[in-house]
Structure 1
Amino acid sequence: MRGQLTGVVAVLLGVSLLVLMAPVLILTRADYQHRALLDAVIRAQGLVPVADTVAAGTLPTEPMDAGLAVSIYRPDGRVFGVPAPLDPKVLAAARRGAATIGLDGRVDVLLPARGPGGGSSSVVRVAMPDSSWERAALGSWLLVVGLALALLLGGVLVAELLVRRQVGWLHALGAGAERIAEGDLSARIQPGGPPEIHRVGAALNRLAVRVEHLMEAQRVRSADLTHRLRTPLTALRLGVDGLPDRTAAARLDSDLIALSQAVDEVIRTVRWSREPGAAEADLVAVASERVRFWSALAEDTARVIGIGAPEEPVPVRVSRSDLRAALDALLGNVFAHTPNGTPMWLIVTVAPDGGGSLIVDDAGPGFPPAAQLGRGRSGAGSTGLGLDIVRRIAVDSGGSMTMDRSPLGGARVELRLGAPFREAG
């Protein structure tokens, strides 16, 4: 866009300068021709009084430095000065007293000089070749063209600076809008530039604030709704405990536990921190921390938890609490759906384009062949919110989650987490 606008300005300015420069060049050429013609007339008038008395060899036979060629045609046919040929008819007219200024449109002046007694006169001729005065005009032409090119270059540079400034505001506006579109509702655009761009930037900022408030209100309402479910669940559990049929009571109690776990996961979902622009955590540090946390349970169940990670931090676009929740869900799945003694391994790597990758492998039975999402269920009758939450955490960070078979023979879950947002400049 910037190149197109600068190009349009350059073309318009160039055409304008060309239109203005053409008459200047034409008038400059005509002015130098008139000056040369006036110089020739003055020289000729100065020779008219002495034309009949000048001696042979007095006048130079070659054009002078200025290019003026002086000739005197005597009545007896002799030619003093530069022996330039002349049309007999024109010479005869000059002898009869007809002065000629600008012969054939050139710098060529013929003036008659009457002899004593009014007899046949001598003719004074002063001529200059076009190349002489055109060389002088060419210098002025070059000066005019150079000035025009300087004006064109200056105009293009000024236009480039102005266009770059305006396009820079548009780029900043687009970058801010892109961050908001990617979910970074904390991103704000610094309004600037022309009033139109300023108004658009301010409107985008208001839109981001409005959306952020609406999402926060929706999360609060959702959390409140899920918390309200705890009261009837508690009442149901008390009622189940009072049933005389203990077999039915045990079955209902199992269903209530599954329902309670699902409600807990919904509450955890709506409590997510939604500040992608400010969310950032070190994947290596959080993974190491959760491995240490789960190591006690692993020791009690005869499991081994290994971790492979780089020494340097791996920042990702996830809040620390969300990243801990995702790791707890993945490790908890392994503990819940593999037999005791099953080893597991965490691998942390740096992504080439920023962010990081986390792989959780185990040597268990692997995912069921029918539905991999079933591994995310936290209990009988659950809706599988465990892995669904993990998946959404990865997607909201700009990454993804995939499930496959691990080299250990069990299940593999790989999280690709995006890089944190960075302020431009």
Structure 2
Amino acid sequence: MADARGGRRSRMAAGALLFVLERAQRGRESISQEVPDGWICLQPVVLPGDEVAVIENFVPEAELTRGVKESWAVMAFLAVGLIAGSVLVTDRLGSKVVRSSRRLAQASRALGQGDLDTRVEPMGPTELRDAGVAFNAMAHRMTELLAVERELVADQGRSCCLDLTQEPTAVALSDDDVAAVVDALIGNVFRHTPAGAPFGIRVMRTAQAVELVVEDGGPGIPDPDRAPSRGSSTGSTGLGLDIAQRAASATGGTMRITRGPLGGAHITVTFTLAPPAPSGHRSRISRHRGR
């Protein structure tokens, strides 16, 4: 019985193959057909006399799947290797970027706190290396300017009297804004008094305020009541007295201009003390210079 069924399948397969051969010959088309134990590929070829011959190529089932598993294994191994390599390279690049950014931030904080010798080693991506080079150039330029300013002060032969309170005196201004006021007032002394004229700086704390006094031995300020408004009326917010007055007003304080014991201007800027609670937003004052 089994032999009979096998014979019938063989005859059916032979009949199907014959049908496909005739179709390929008559239609002159390439045909691929699955047959028992494999595949056949039929390729018609036109001969002289318009006769058609069909080339048959049989591929066993074992040949179709030979090496497929090994190929998939190799491809999977390569995929895992590529992913692992990509993760490693990304991690290394990310670490360099983070390390470079952190060093640049640390150097910036150190420079802001007065360490003019701080420098960074340019490293990381091109943008961070350029930022490092620019930072070093800026720090070097600041050092040069400070040296020039110190030489200028020494050449002018000015005497300076400092009287500073040793008690912490927090006011409702940022450190930059307080520095802007001091810089503007002292800058006025050097720009608007003759060389050699003495000056003094005094900081005093009262129960509710802090007083910053800057005085000089110059010619003084004519019409002191209108001096701050002269700066704002010209459209410039960078005049030194205007900066000091607006800073004092921002804290609820005042500014007074008189003639002092040294014979010149005697400027008293009063800042109201900051409340003991943690301060939030602080007023910002323009840092342009002038008088």
Which bin holds the TM-score, normalised by the shorter protein?
0.3 to 0.5
Query: TM-score, normalized by length of structure 1?
Result: 0.30
Query: TM-score, normalized by length of structure 2?
Result: 0.40
Q: Does 1 or 2 have the higher relative contact order (CA < 8 Å, sep 6+)?
A: 2
Greater strand proportion: 2
Greater helix proportion: 1
